[in-house]
Structure formats: structure tokens, C-alpha cells
Structure 1
Amino acid sequence: MSYGGSDPQSDSARFGTDAFYASLGRAFVTMCAVIPVLFLIEAIDKGIGGGELDVAGGIIPRHVSGLDGVLFSPFLHAGWDHLYGNAVPLILVGTFALAGGVRRFIWSTFVIMLVSGLGVWIVGDPTTVVVGASGVIFGYLGLLLTRGLVERSWWNLGVAAFIGLLYWYQLYNILPTDAAISWQGHLLGLLGGVIAAILFRRKKPKTQPALYSPTTTTLPPI
């Protein structure tokens, strides 16, 4: 599904316009509002549930009972350190992803969660429970980078490069490692972002040829 130039949010995609800055500000406030919800879920899980929410809502690879984690696992975390580590990157990449349009953001997030979650469920270690928003974070990074390429947007490319420089030390987490992290979720999340950027790209409006009305010319008398 492609979004053409008739998209009412097209002005907000143009860097430097008032609509762009307004969209960026709204996106930042929205993402900042999401983080307290994640902290509330973690508090309920650790304070009341004793960590049972992670097992109930996490992805358990190749177990039917863990398939619902595709939807719920991004909202759960293995501990406060895990959540703290994801909070700031989620605000950062989420803000720029959301600024590109609410509808595109919602559909893109769904695709990222689906690709990352189902992929982990298929190829992950069946003895583990996978939780966390990091797959979505890597997905937004892939979304911004690919969106910059397919939409020829220097702004999105610059943002992706800037975020990559800030968190370059985390990029190795898309490769196999012995650490207790789901590198599969990170890699597949990145892939999901690439797919979403292509599916929901915004096409530039085609330039219409100028129409000239016929005119008459009065010849000077001979």
C-alpha cells in the first residue's frame, strides 16, 4: 500500500515546514507518554505478578502457548535495567517514525511486531522466553533508514545515521552472540522495518503538465 501526494500529512514530511515541526513535537509527546505505561506494566509484573507476566505474555519459540507473545512481548521486560535500556532509544526512534504519519506508524509497527515476533517464534530457542521492545526499536531504525532511501528523503537518512552513531555499540546485537539477548528479534525487527518502509512508502506527487489556453494575435495592418 502506497501513500501518494494527496496524503493530508504530506506537508508534515517536508523538513523545515511548520507542519513538520508540529508533527515532530506531537510525536515526541506521544512517545514520552508511552514510556510510563511500560513502567506501570513492569511495576505490576514485578510487584504483583512476581514476574509471571513475562512467561504469560512472552514469546516461547515453537510453543503454541507462547504465540500470543508476538503481540504482548514488546510491552514486557525482563527487569528494570532492561526497561531503562530500551526507554530512551524507543522515545528517540519512535518519535521520528511517528512524525512521518500516524496511520503509517501504526501499520509499520504492526508489520515490525509481526515479522520480528513470528520470526523469533519460528527460529528462536524453545527453552527461552523472549520479551522486550528492542525488536521494535531496531525495526524503527530499519524503517527510517529504508524510508530515506525509497522516498529519497535526506532527512530520514540523516536521522537514521545519527541514531546509528549514538547507538553503534548496540548494532552488534543483530549478530549471533552468547549473551542473554534475542539477536534474532533484533535482526528480524530490522528486516520488518525495511519491509514496512517499502509497503507504506509515500510517493511524491507527479508533476502535471502546464495547460495553456489558446490565444489570438491581431496582425498589424499592412
Structure 2
Amino acid sequence: MSYRPAVARTDEARFGTDAFYASIGRAFVTMCAVIPILFLVEALDVALGPGTLDVAGGIIPHHLDGLDGVLFSPFLHAGWDHLYGNAVPLILVGTFALAGGARRFIWSTLTIMLISGLGVWFVGDPDTIVVGASGVIFGYLGLLFGRGFVERSWWNLGVAAFIGLLYWYQVYNILPTDRTVSWQGHLLGLVGGFVAAFLFRRR
């Protein structure tokens, strides 16, 4: 019989099951493994000269030579403090986003990166270089909220609301309150998360 895999996938989506907790555990380990990569990239940037990689791989709005930053900028940060500030939120929201399935996570991440990155390139300040995983973090937050509504998943809504309250001071950065913060990337990342939740919803 070939029904067991389908049953397992359905079971994994149910809150409180062993498969549910196992998927969260695997996702947590995976996201924790991503963080050292970001620190290695930042260490390389410092070794080459602070900001060297940021200039080469960051998003430079309205400039064609800054368009590749749509793909590279989430892996770059403007110093250690910037990276420290993003590391824990990335683990938290990334864990619950990934727990919903690896394939959906990959496609959702790409969608978020494209919407946030291209949006910043079109509407951002052309005299700035935009780097950081914040757009993706806000995207995962939007993804969890979106899944909660689209899939009627109370646990996704609950997790998103809890993380949003925990990091309310960062959620506040979707508004143009600080010239050093790419609020466009945050806001468009959040929008990208909702779009991804709809496009890659469970059917």
C-alpha cells in the first residue's frame, strides 16, 4: 500500500502530535546551523575590509549593479551588532516557518527575498546600500500570520502573535521612523510572507 507517506504528512501538520514536535526540533537544528554561516560571512567581510562585501553584494536601489543584492543582501550585515540583532529572531521565526515543510519553506523564502529585495530596489533611497536578513525575518513573520488565516491554523497565528509582541520594537520598524533602517524592506518582506502563505498553502 502507498498511503502511509500521505498520512504522515497530514499528521505532521497537526498541533500536538509527536510528528509535529519532531518537525519543530529538526527545523530548530537546521536554523541554528544557518547562523554560523552568517557569522562566517561577516568575519570574511571584516577580514577583507569592513563593508567590502556589503558594497559588492548589497542592494543599491535604482542601480543595475546593485540588483544582484536581491539574492545576496540577506546574507550580509552592516557589522556585528546588526548580525547579533537578527540572529535570534531569524532562528525563532525560521524554525516555525520551516516546520511547515522544507519544500514550502524554500519556495516561500525565495518569494520573500524577491518581493522584499526587488521592492527595495525599486522604491529605496538610491544613495544607500541595503543589507541584512531583516526583510526575510519579517517575511517569515508574515508567512506565519498568513498561514494562520489561509490554512486556519491557530498555532501559526499564536506563534506569530507571540513573536510579534516579543519583538514589538522591531515590528515598529515597518514604519519610516529611522533613516538608518530599511523600513521598505521590512514592510515588503511582511507582504512577501503573506503572498507566500497564499501561493504555497496546503491544499
TM-score normalised per structure 2: 0.95
Counterpart in 2 of 1:197? 197
Counterpart in 1 of 2:45? 45
1:50 Cα deviation from its structure 2 partner: 3.4
Counterpart in 2 of 1:212? none
Counterpart in 2 of 1:89? 89
Secondary structure (helix, strand or coil) at the match of 2:9 reads coil
Partner amino acid, structure 2, of 1:58: G
1:159 Cα deviation from its structure 2 partner: 0.4
Q: Give the unaligned 5+ runs of structure 2.
A: none
Q: How does 1:162-181 map to 2 (within 5 A)?
A: 162-181=162-181
* Structure of higher CA gyration radius: 1
1:49 Cα deviation from its structure 2 partner: 4.0
Per chain length, whose mean CA-contact separation is higher, i.e. which structure has more relative contact order (CA < 8 Å, sep 6+)?
1
The number of aligned residues is: 199
Secondary structure (helix, strand or coil) at the match of 1:125 reads coil
Partner amino acid, structure 2, of 1:142: G
1:30 has 2:33 as partner: no
Distance 1:13 1:41, change over 3 A: same
Partner amino acid, structure 2, of 1:197: A
Partner amino acid, structure 2, of 1:93: V
1:149 has 2:149 as partner: yes
Cα-to-partner distance string for 1:2-33 (whole Å, 9 max, x where unaligned): xxx95853321111111111100000000000
Q: Give the unaligned 5+ runs of structure 1.
A: 204-222
1:48 Cα deviation from its structure 2 partner: 2.4
CA RMSD of aligned residues (A): 1.3
Counterpart in 2 of 1:217? none
Distance 1:7 1:79, change over 3 A: farther
Counterpart in 2 of 1:140? 140
Partner amino acid, structure 2, of 1:182: S
CA–CA distance in structure 2, aligned partners of residues 59 and 33 of structure 1? 25
TM-score normalised per structure 1: 0.87
Aligned residues with identical type, % of pairs: 81
Distance 1:15 1:54, change over 3 A: same
